[in-house]
Amino acid sequence: MQSVVALFVEEPLLLLFIVAGLGYLLGHVQVKGISLGVAAVLFVGLAFGALSPEMALPPVVVDLGLIIFVYTIGLSSGPGFFASFKRKGLRDNLFVLLILLLAAAMTAGLAALLGLRATVAAGMYAGSLTNTPALAGILETIGRSAPADQLAVLSAEPVIGYSVAYPMGVIAMLLAVYVMQRVFGIDYRAEAKTLRHYNVIEQELYTRTVVVTNPAAAGLPVSELFRRNQWDVVLSRIKRGGDIALAAGETTFDLGDRVVLVGAPEEVDKAVAGLGEPAAEQLELDRSDYDFRRVFVSNPAIAGRSLSELDLPHAYGAIVSRVRRGDIDLLAHGDTVLELGDRVRVVARRADMAGLTALFGDSYKALSEVNLLSLSIGLALGVIIGVIPIPLPGGVRITLGLAGGPLLVGLLLGARRRTGGVVWTIPYSANLTLRQVGLTLLLAGIGVRSGYTFFTSFAASGGPQVFFGGMLITFSVAFLTLILGYKVLKVPFGLLTGMLAGLGTQPATLGFALQQADNELPNLGYALAFPVATITKVVVAQLLLIMLSG
């Protein structure tokens, strides 16, 4: 046994891979349908770290994992985060902020009541709200201010608070969602239909042919006709006499035209009623002249551009009817912004299809590659922003750290998508891969580094008190969020469960919410709440440490 421990001490990379692999296996073990997921890597790391005080991974592993994880989260959440403020995003984010401040006040009160050290209480706050970046921010603050001879112990105490509170931080939120959806009698399908226009739920798209018989629909350009009637459909093609053509914004209808519409059933039915009457037979596409195909968006030159900018009807005589992003089909509009990894359904003349394929790229191999220049610039900017000191009243100075800085930069660059020839976003699949690798490095590094002190100092650092204190915080936060959000703010419950997952920055809660809702609404709530929740917890956790230490 001693020789194995010595091997792990001498070969930290070997230790990293074993911890990551075993953590992956443990994370997929389900108890009553609940699993730890990637968070299991932290607990495996703690177990290995407990074998020897010399067991550790290089500090750069933790830092690298942290900045990659939060930066990729920012890139993917940026567009949805800023777009949400056009609706009720400001109100909802203020709600999230107030809940997190309430949790901080509860933490301070429990620390005084239970006699917890400031380091342990700050870790309990991060653990009860399952936020690893907040824990990393606490450790950064301790690293800057702690005496060298006390650094090891003081750095381990937040991890004790975090690790003890974390399991119930996951379980309590899952239980809250499970209980309250039954108390409120939630109909997820009905709620999803009310938010179809957000383009974040799987759209039941279908095609319908209509004969134009309404005189009011004749003679007006399609763009004006659709604007007046607020029809949320795509006009695919039009048959006039014996000729079939693709429609554009300036196309006008004649009575007797047969038109193909694509969209959600209720939207298509509304447009059919306004144009005329359903055709007896569907207008099939003659593929000897026109063709349709799904192609990958892999060309960086068009990533981050809207369909209206590409002007496909005039440049290529083509239209895009649908965009598939991840596992979701979206109806294509002029303001739809293309992202690397999207699959677009194009309709065009067969002779033009090769040029369109070249325009979009259609290379699966290219989607597996990451632009290291834009990635490196974004990460470097995040690190710079993270180390800038922020003065607060009372002479206190904090930083966003390696957690908040890259996240903030990721949000801004993700929303911007591109600057000139530089595309900031990365393909969907590559983003998920980098995110998981980053989180695995972070959790493994923290666990191994703190394992020995965790097990030798558990009782002395108030382990039992932390468990019950953290459980009280998480249950209070979860039930208050769901009750106030649904009953007072009238947030749709599917959206609200995603907000709760984002508030807790908890992928396990998000996965459970998606499973219960059976649609993508929780993802919208998660993207809305996650950035503000992460930055808030990173800052508040450091402030708790400073104030409770004083």
Would you list the domain boundaries of the chain? 57-194+373-442+458-549, 200-366
Angle between helices 59-83 and 521-549 (to 10 degrees): 130
How confident is the model over 312-356, as pLDDT tens digits?
Answer: 887 777 878 778 876 667 777 777 788 887 888 887 777 778 888
Residues 6+ away with beta carbon under 8 Å from 515: none
Give residue 101's pLDDT.
95
What is the rounded average pLDDT of the residues 138-166?
73
Backbone angles phi, psi at 138, to 5 degrees: -60, -45
Query: How crowded is residue 149: how many other Cβ atoms within 10 Å of its Cβ?
Result: 7
What is the rounded average pLDDT of the residues 355-366?
80
Amino acid at 349: R
Q: Is the pLDDT of residue 196 over 60?
A: no
Q: Which of 378, 384, 385, 362 is nearest to 422 (CA)?
A: 378
- Mean pLDDT is lowest, of 127-131, 232-236, 404-408, for 232-236
Q: Which residue has the higher pLDDT, 181 or 151?
A: 181
Percent of the chain with pLDDT over 70: 86
- Mean pLDDT is lowest, of 13-22, 29-38, 115-124, for 29-38
Q: Is the pLDDT of residue 92 over 70?
A: yes
Give residue 505's pLDDT.
78
What is the rounded average pLDDT of the residues 252-281?
79
Q: Is the pLDDT of residue 154 over 80?
A: no
What is the rounded average pLDDT of the residues 511-517?
75
- Mean pLDDT is lowest, of 88-102, 282-296, 330-344, 356-370, for 282-296
What is the rounded average pLDDT of the residues 465-471?
87
Q: pTM for the complete prediction?
A: 0.69
Give residue 147's pLDDT.
65
Highest mean pLDDT among 31-35, 298-302, 505-509: 298-302
Q: Which residue has the higher pLDDT, 484 or 250?
A: 484
Q: Is the pLDDT of residue 459 over 70?
A: no
- Whether the CB-CB separation of 344 and 320 falls below 8 Å is answered with yes
Q: Which two tokens stand for residue 203?
A: 């759209």
What is the rounded average pLDDT of the residues 438-447?
83
Backbone angles phi, psi at 212, to 5 degrees: -75, 110
Q: Which residue has the higher pLDDT, 394 or 29?
A: 29
Query: Which pLDDT band, with edges at 50, 70 and 90, does 46 fall under?
Result: confident
Q: Is the pLDDT of residue 310 over 90?
A: no
Angle, CA of 490, 494 and 496, to the nearest 5°: 55
DSSP output for 289-317: TEEEEEEEB--TTTTT-BHHHHTHHHHTS
| Helices first, then strands: H and E counts in the chain | 22, 13
What is the rounded average pLDDT of the residues 496-511?
81
Strand partners, 263: 206
Angle between helices 118-128 and 521-549 (to 10 degrees): 170
Q: Is the pLDDT of residue 283 over 70?
A: no
Percent of the chain with pLDDT over 90: 11
Tell how strand 234-240 and strand 276-278 pair up. unpaired
Checking 271-276 for CB contacts under 8 A at 24+ apart, the result is 271/210, 271/229, 271/231, 271/233, 272/208, 272/210, 274/214, 274/217, 274/229, 274/231, 275/210, 275/212, 275/213, 275/214, 275/217, 276/210, 276/211, 276/212, 276/213, 276/214, 276/217
What is the rounded average pLDDT of the residues 428-442?
84
Distance between CA atoms of 347 and 507, rounded to whole angstroms? 38
What is the rounded average pLDDT of the residues 163-169?
79
Amino acid at 484: L
Q: Is the pLDDT of residue 35 over 70?
A: no
Q: Which of 25, 5, 49 is nearest to 451 (CA)?
A: 49
Per CATH, which fold does 200-366 belong to? Alpha-Beta Plaits (3.30.70)
For the chain, the residue count is: 550
Query: Which pLDDT band, with edges at 50, 70 and 90, does 457 fall under?
Result: low
